Amino acid sequence: MKKYLFFATILAILLAASGCSKPKGHLVGVYSRTKAETAPYGMVFIPRGSFNMGANDQSATWMTQPKQRVISMDAFWMDQTEITNGEYRQFVHWVRDSIVRTKLSRMADDTEAAKFFKEVPSYTPQGVEYDTVLNWKTKIPWNQKYAEDNDVAAEKFEIVQQMNFYGSDKIESGQANAHIYVYKYRYVNWDQAKIQGNEFNPYTNSYNPGAIVRVDSAWMTEDGRIHDTVLVKPLRNRSDFMSTRIINIYPDTMVWMREFSYSYNEPMMQNYFAHPGFGEFPVVGISWDQANAFCWWRTELYKSAGLQRAQIYRLPSEGEWEYAARGGRHDAIYPWGGPYIRDEKGCFLANFKPMRGNYTEDGYLYPCKVGTYNPNDFGLYDMAGNVSEWTATTYDENLEKFTGDFMPDYNYQAKNTDPAIMKRKIIKGGSWKDVGAYLQCGSRDYEYQNRRRASIGFRCVRAYIGN
């Protein structure tokens, strides 16, 4: 009896195993198990859905407003708050540290220079090649003292001191030399890849002979000036789609004085980005181009940590931004859902200009800390007021006439040589110095992508992978 039970158990196991195995000689597919995408730090999940896109009310400036239409959006991740001074400062410090490490890796003393770079193997069909990269584990000698009898110490001291203004540019001691905070990055011009005729031809196993691309190219001269041009060249390899951008990423602190004639805003100019007390306030004085550079750096920062594969960080399209602002309500005029800008107790629900000449009625004269007011139903803060926000979408008066109802977007990659009218980008949400009409989810305004304002910031999104 025991032998019978033993053989019966073995037979059952074998039958179960054979039943689960894939049949040979048949189409079974190649599948890999993947983990569900984890929530990115500081972001909230925006589920897929549809909403009525467009203005709910007439324009405060009597501009022609687009008619409402139903739009469908896929799921994505979005920053819970606007990018803060503290978060943008991480970008600024990374650029600063990379610059000083690069200079230290080129010191005359080979032994000292070798501490600031390392060689990483790269495996190619031709063999193993070694790429030289910065060594981020070596500490920067910020407190290096000058030593007349030590050439190495003197050179280190000079390199570190160059990170502050010196010579004729020096006004006060210890001021960061913002003029050298330059970030260089390369990206794929997908807008050129999608042009009819630029696709890879499977019948010839090559790109079409007449295919051309129009990409950006940039370089720096020895005196630190950035130059750029637009290259129009034949499409022969995938690398021909690459553009190069170089941009100074330091915020324009002078916006606090430049935008307000005959106003005393020197304290904000001197302290808003530099002082730790403003760390949790939204960063301003950032152009659309600088915001894109931040997104690209944030993506590379994520990749460098070896984390789970994910989509790039980027600016939201106008459709994504408005859908997220409405918090799942199809016709919400404001992010909080109601038609009024005060609650039942008479308190204002956002930071804006509530009355003529009275900026402080809502409790704040300038921008306030992010997350000061209650979030919308998606858990997003400051989707109305505080600072307006850049979107990826290019402004056009007839935008709704040539975009569809499925994930609408119009992101023209304006070149530096393009006319100004092609560089208009949509901003949303209204700011601390705008009247209540600009706080509406459907309100639309624009600014030129190379302009910087004391009232415009941004937040990032990331596409969601999976169901």
pLDDT, tens digit (0-9, with 9 covering 90-100), for 55-108: 877 555 555 666 788 999 999 999 999 999 999 999 999 999 999 999 999 988
201 and 73 within one domain: no
Which pLDDT band holds residue 401 (cuts at 50, 70, 90)? confident
Residue at 151 is within a domain: yes
Give the mean model confidence (pLDDT) for residues 357-364.
Answer: 89
Domain boundary among 224, 247, 270: 247
DSSP per residue, 92-128: HHHHHHHHHHHHHTT-SSHHHHGGGEEEEEEEETTEE
Whether residue 309 is contained in a domain is answered as: no
**Whether residues 187 and 122 fall in one domain:** no
The pLDDT of residue 66? 65
Whether 260 shows a pLDDT value over 60: the answer reads: yes
- Which of 162-176, 192-206, 440-454 is least confident? 162-176
Tokens, residue 150: 């030590």
Tokens of 240: 């021909």
| Co-location of 54 and 167 in the same domain | no
| pLDDT value at residue 236 | 94
Q: What residues contact residue 73 under an 8 Å CB cut-off, 6+ apart?
A: 46, 48, 49, 50, 51, 319, 320, 323, 407
The answer to whether residues 52 and 104 belong to one domain is no
Alpha helices in 305-436 (DSSP H): 318-326, 399-402
Is the sign of the CA dihedral 378, 381, 386, 392 positive or negative?
negative
Residues 149 and 80 in one domain: no
DSSP assigned state of 62: -
Higher pLDDT pick, 60 / 244: 244
Of 205, 222, 247, the position where a domain reaches its end is 247
Looking at every residue in the chain, the average pLDDT score rounds to 90
pLDDT in tens, 149-161: 888 899 999 999 8
Please tell me the predicted confidence (pLDDT) of residue 223: 86
Which H/E stretch holds residue 391? strand 388-394
Distance (Å, whole) CA 210 – CA 290: 34
Whether 175 and 197 map to the same domain: the answer is no
Tokens in use for 318?
Answer: 């106008």
- Alpha-carbon span 391 to 404, nearest angstrom: 18
Task: Please tell me the total number of residues recorded for the chain in this structure.
Answer: 467
Closest by CA to 156, choosing from 109, 198, 200, is 109
**pTM of this prediction?**
0.91
